[in-house]
Amino acid sequence: MVGDILRLGKADASAARARASVTICLDGDGDVDLKTGSAFLDHMLHAFARAGSIDLKAISEGGISYQRARALGEAFGLALGSAFGDKKGIRRYGWAAVPMDESMAQAALDISGRPYLIMEGRFAGDHIGDLETPQVKVVIESIINAARVTLNVRFEGENDHHKAESLFKALGLALREAKRVDVEGGAIPSTKGML
C-alpha cells in the first residue's frame, strides 16, 4: 500500500459476443478470483498475480474462446492503466528472467504510455490444457495495448506448459518492479514530464 491509498483499477470490455470484467489492486498479495472460462488461463493469471503481488478478480463469458481472450485482455489492460493513475513516483521499468525446469522466459516492461509488444518464442502444440496456444499472445497483446505499456518478452523450452508459466511469471515480476513507488521520488519518471 502506498500511504493510505490503494492503487485500484476496474474495467469492463467486450469483443463481439464476449464480455469481461477485471478488478486489480496493484498493492495486493496475489489474491485472485478468476473465472475466465479456461482453467489453464486461470492458472496462468494466478501465477502472474502472485509473482506481481497484485490482487486480481477477472470474469469473462460469452462468445467464442478467442473473443473471450481479447475481451479479458482488454479489460485487464484498462484496469491496469487505471490503477497506475498519474504514474507519479513509480519506477516505470521492470525486468525479470524466470526459469521453469527446462524453460525460460525473460520480460522487460516499460510503463511508457506507448503500447508496443515484441514477443519471441513458439509453442509446439495447438493447445495447453483447455487453452488454444495462440490465445496466450491475444491476451498479452490486448493487455499491453489497453494499458499502454511496452513489453519485450522472449521464451524458450520444450514443454508448452512450462514455457507459458515462465512467461506469465516473468511478466508478473517485471510489473512488480515497474509499479513500485520510489518513496524518495514523486515525479513522473520521464524527461518529458509525462507518460
First to last CA, the chain: 22
Q: The C-alpha cell of 117 is what? A: 509488444
pLDDT of residue 4: 43
pLDDT of residue 64: 87
Cα dihedral 166→36→151→164 (10° resolution): 20
pLDDT of residue 193: 66
The full set of domains in the chain, from first to last, is: 8-178 (3.30.230.40)
The 8-class DSSP code of residue 168 comes to H
pLDDT 10s digit of each residue in the chain, 195 long? Answer: 344 456 899 999 988 789 999 999 999 999 999 999 999 999 999 999 999 999 999 999 998 888 999 999 999 999 999 999 888 889 999 999 999 999 999 999 999 999 999 999 999 999 999 999 999 999 999 999 999 999 999 999 999 999 999 999 999 999 999 999 875 666 776 666 666
pLDDT of residue 3: 40
pLDDT of residue 191: 62
- With 0.75 as the threshold, say if the pTM is over it: yes
In sequence order, the 6+-apart residues with CB closer than 8 A to the CB of 115 are 144, 145, 146, 147, 148, 149, 150
